[in-house]
Amino acid sequence: MYRKILIPTDGSDTANKAVTHAINLAEALNAELHAMYVVDISAFAGLPTEIVWENMKNLLKSESDTAMKYIEKKATEKEIKFEKSVKEGVPAEEIVKTAKEIQADLIVMGTSGRTGLDKFLLGSVAEKIIRTSPCPVLVVHK
C-alpha cells in the first residue's frame, strides 16, 4: 500500500503533529520516510543586499536542521528507514517535484505552520500540493 511516505516540514507544531502521524503509519506499514524542508526563496525576492540574504539563509538553515533532527530522532526511536533533504525554491513546487522523484506513495503534512491570512487560506502550500500531487495527500490539522 504505502511504501514511501514524504513528510514536508517547517518545524511548526502543526508540522510536528503530521510527523507523528507519518511515523505511526510508517511503523504500521513498514514504510520508508523521506523528510524535507524547503527554504522559500520567493519570500526573500526583494531583499536589498546579499548580506541580508546570507543572514536569512543561515537562520533558515538552522530552522531546517532543528526540524530534521526532530524527525530523525522520532524515526530512529521506531527503527524506521529515514532519508532527508533540504531544498531551496517555491515550497509547493519543490514538494511535488520531490514526491515524483522519490516515487512517494503518500505525502503527510500539516495544514499550515502559520497564522493569520495564511491560516485562513489553509496554507496555500497545502492547497497547491493537494491539487498537483502525484500521490494521495494526508493533511493533518492542528
CB atoms near residue 135 (< 10 Å) = 16
pLDDT > 90: percent of the chain: 64
Which three cell numbers, joined as nine digits, stand for 90? 517555491
Task: State the Cα–Cα distance between residues 129 and 96, nearest whole angstrom.
Answer: 6
Q: 53-101, pLDDT tens digit by residue? A: 677 777 778 889 999 999 999 999 999 999 999 998 889 999 999 999 9
Task: State the Cα–Cα distance between residues 87 and 28, nearest whole angstrom.
Answer: 29
Average pLDDT taken over every residue of the chain: 87
Spell out the domain ranges in the chain: 4-140
Residue pair 23/74 in contact by the 8 Å Cβ criterion: yes
Task: State the Cα–Cα distance between residues 108 and 133, nearest whole angstrom.
Answer: 12
Could you tell me the fold of the domain covering 4-140?
Rossmann fold (3.40.50)
Q: How confident is the model at residue 51 (pLDDT cuts 50, 70, 90)?
A: low
**With 70 as the cut, is the pLDDT of residue 123 above it?**
no
Q: 16-32, pLDDT tens digit by residue? A: 999 999 999 999 999 99
Q: How confident is the model at residue 52 (pLDDT cuts 50, 70, 90)?
A: low
Task: State the Cα–Cα distance between residues 3 and 13, nearest whole angstrom.
Answer: 25
Task: State the Cα–Cα distance between residues 6 and 19, nearest whole angstrom.
Answer: 10
Q: What pTM does this model have?
A: 0.86
Task: Choose between 48 and 3: higher pLDDT.
Answer: 3
pLDDT > 70: percent of the chain: 83
Which three cell numbers, joined as nine digits, stand for 13? 507544531
- 3-state class (DSSP) for residue 85: strand
Helix axes 124-132, 91-102, angle to 10 degrees: 40
Flag the least confident range among 35-44, 72-81, 117-126, 129-138. Answer: 117-126
